Amino acid sequence: VPFILEDHVMDNHKMITYSFPLVFNGIVYGVMGTEVSISYLCEDILLQRIVKIKEFLPEAWAVRGEDGKVTVKSSRQAYAFKCGRESFMKECRMTAQFIHSDHFPVVYDYFTLNGTDYMVTEYVVGTSVEEIFEKRGHVPYSIDELMEIMEPLLEGIQELHDHRIIHCNIAPSNIVKATDGRVMLTNMGAAKYQDSATSMMSATLLQPDFAAPEQISKEDGENNEGPWTDIYQIGTVMYYLLIGHK
């Protein structure tokens, strides 16, 4: 399926100009990057819809060569990169369970290419709560404003916990208010099943200002995270929005 990024989408999201061949017989013109992944806003020409393609490319462990292939920086990063790819696949599988939910982006596809992995999801038009809060100058929310976010957010968290999934990375930057009115929880990269081992990506993605004590003070091999971890993080988000600072 060919994908091509529309100029107006790039402008709306302050995308930086970027061009490299992604094997869809199309061209990607814009990109948003984080420390562990790159996201491309694209048009699925066949189905005529805008989608987001998320590429696993952790800058600490891997690099893209001139041929477009992703390789580890050194043999010392090989194991971490392998585990990271497994976590990325797990993120996709977890998110895909909630195809009928209003609280998570819909996963359309997953594929391997260029030595790494890609996840194709619904493109959610909206703004993160972090961005909204910054634009209003960190003026504290009223209780009514807070509950407009918290009620649907808690519904989403309940859905996760009903499936024995813990998000582990609830923060204003991962809560999106969509233009269609939905409040969505994004970035499941640190998520895990209850009682399972902590993802290697968890420490990389962790936001200390909103982390639970058991996430910060854990020792090697400890697994003290549970539903209470998400509840604690929700509390830190509420405090931040009500008080105006972290």
Q: What is the pLDDT of residues 60-105, one digit of tens each?
A: 899 888 777 889 999 998 998 998 899 899 989 999 999 999 999 9
- Cβ atoms < 10 Å from Cβ of 6: 14
DSSP designation for 135:
H
The tokens describing 216, both together, are 């910060």
The tokens describing 209, both together, are 């200002």
The pLDDT value given to residue 138: 96
The pLDDT value given to residue 6: 45
Secondary element (H or E) of residue 146? helix 143-162
The pLDDT value given to residue 23: 42
Between CA 242 and CA 143 the distance in angstroms is 8
The residue ranges of the chain whose pLDDT is under 50 are 1-27, 29
Tell me the whole-structure pTM to 2 decimals: 0.81
Between CA 133 and CA 221 the distance in angstroms is 37
- The total number of residues shown for the chain amounts to 246
The pLDDT value given to residue 5: 43
